[in-house]
A = this chain, B = another copy of it.
Amino acid sequence: MRATVMFGAGDVRIENVPDSHIIESTDAVVVVSRACICGSDLWPYRGLEEFPENGRRMGHEAIGVVEAVGPDVRTMKRGDLVIMPFAFSDGSCVFCNQGLQTSCIHGGFFGIHGNDGAQAEALRVPHADGTLFVLRVDKDDALMPSLLTLSDVMGTGHHAAVTAKVRPGSKVAVVGDGAVGLCGAIAAQRLGAEQIIILGRHSDRIALAKDFGAADVVSERGDEAVERVRELTGGFGVHSVLECVGTEAAMRTAISIARPGGAVGRVGVPQNETMPASQPAFYNNITVSGGPAPVRAYIDKLLPDILEGRIAPGRVFDRTVSLEQVPEGYQAMDDRKSIKVMVEP
């Protein structure tokens, strides 16, 4: 079968690889209907991560059709349409039971450590019962792009909003106008935010953020951005910051624009071992929370809003490519010519 393999910075290829097949009795094999390229896929693409010698299988977001299940899989069968969250999880451990599937003690992540990737014709999914969410819609439904975001970006934006403690009446800032930040704006509005400020500077993304409820835009950076957010919030900063970038500068901004007693929910993968602005965070009693989103736990909550048309996170996709065109998709995202690329193998 064909699958995306990254061999080094900028070196993404579509390769022939052995067909995915059942290994463990709790596995499923899923034929990918839709996948996508994630902002986090750009970190290795830019050479910021190590590569295994034989390259790394890419992609961790998908909707697909179950092709085969192991003998211990109980909740799905061949032919079922499923959402595949970016992490697999057994669905039964202490952390899964508390809704933190990204810390499952038998879990892991697609596309690294030898696990199959979703930018492929098919992939093996460990712990299918705990991982996959069976959809009761047709695989060509017009809502498919939005449903696909439940595998990562919409759940991740929601996690940022939840860990930033967004509630009715909150003033909220979203740091980063990528697909996750845009979904963060959707999530903040959905949770009742009174004011949503987006920090970003790409006109196409800002336009979408405004559609998603971010009435205020801050295009400045650093101290100027902090000053601008304070002006927009009566001088105190916001209750909740959704940090959707992961760089040191973004985190410093996030902490600086939170009001005393506020919270930063971070979902941008941190690129540094240390966190900046520890002292300001302390003196202002700012809570820093967040991490890899347990998107599996959030599908139940977010799905009705998509099915009933209240949110449309699928609008973050502005380009669709075939599997063979995936390298061009990476290039488009790296050049910021595309917000997020959908893959239809």
Instruction: Give residues in A with beta carbon < 8 Å to B.
Output: 94-95, 98, 100, 102-103, 163, 236, 260-261, 266, 269-270, 272-279, 281-292, 294
With beta carbons under 8 angstroms apart, the residue of B277, B278, B284, B289 that contacts A287 is B289
Given contacts A102-B285, A281-B288, A286-B291, 14 further A-B pairs with CB under 8 A are A95-B261, A103-B285, A163-B287, A266-B282, A270-B278, A270-B282, A272-B278, A272-B279, A275-B281, A281-B291, A282-B290, A284-B291, A287-B287, A287-B288
Contacts of A163 in B (CB 8 A): 285, 287
Select from chain B the residue with minimum beta-carbon distance to A289.
B287
Contacts of A98 in B (CB 8 A): 261
Per the bound structure, the CA–CA distance linking A169 and B269 in Å amounts to 32
Question: Shortest distance in angstroms between A75's beta carbon and chain B's nearest beta carbon?
Answer: 25
Nearest-CB residue, chain B, relative to A274: B274
Q: Is the CB of A278 within 8 A of B282?
A: no
A275 CA to B274 CA in the complex, in Å?
A: 5
Contact of A273 among B260, B266, B276, B292 (CB under 8 A): B276
For residue A288, which residues in chain B have a CB less than 8 angstroms away from its CB? 281, 287-289
Given A94-B236, A100-B260, A261-B100, CB of A274 within 8 Å of CB of B278? yes
Judging by beta carbons under 8 Å apart, are B275 and A103 in contact? no
Distance in angstroms from A60 CB to nearest chain B CB is 15
30 cross-chain CB contacts under 8 A: A94-B236, A95-B261, A98-B261, A100-B260, A100-B261, A103-B260, A103-B261, A103-B284, A163-B285, A163-B287, A266-B282, A270-B278, A270-B279, A270-B282, A273-B279, A274-B275, A274-B278, A275-B281, A281-B288, A282-B290, A283-B291, A283-B292, A284-B291, A285-B294, A286-B289, A286-B291, A287-B288, A288-B288, A288-B289, A289-B289
The smallest C-beta distance from A339 to any residue of chain B, in angstroms, reads: 24
Number of identical monomers bound together in the oligomeric complex: 2
Give the residues in chain B near A95, CB-CB below 8 Å.
Answer: 260-261
CB of B292 within 8 A of CB of A285, answer yes
CB of B278 within 8 A of CB of A273, answer yes
Provide the residues of chain B in CB contact with A282, threshold 8 Å.
266, 269-270, 290-292
In the assembled complex, how far is the CB of residue A129 from the closest CB belonging to chain B, in whole angstroms?
21
A269: chain B residues within 8 A (beta carbon): 282
Residues of B near A291 (CB, < 8 A) are: 281-286
Nearest Cβ on chain B to A291's Cβ, whole angstroms? 4
Nearest CB of B to A107, in Å: 11
Q: CA separation between A236 and B103, bound complex, in Å?
A: 11
Which of A272, A281, A282, A290 counts the most chain B CB atoms within 10 A?
A282
- Knowing A290-B285, A291-B286, say if A278 contacts B275 (CB, 8 Å): yes
Shortest CB-to-CB span from A132 to chain B, Å, is 22
* Residues of chain B lying within 8 A (CB to CB) of residue A273: 276-279
How near does chain B come to A230, taking the closest CB pair, in angstroms? 13
How many angstroms from the CA of A95 to the CA of B258 in the assembled complex? 13
Determine how close the nearest CB of chain B comes to the CB of A76; give it in whole angstroms: 27
A58 CB to closest chain B CB (Å) equals 20
B-side contacts of A279, CB under 8 Å: 270, 272-273
Shortest A308–chain B CB gap in Å is 29
Bound together, the chains give a CA A290 to CA B261 distance in angstroms of 9
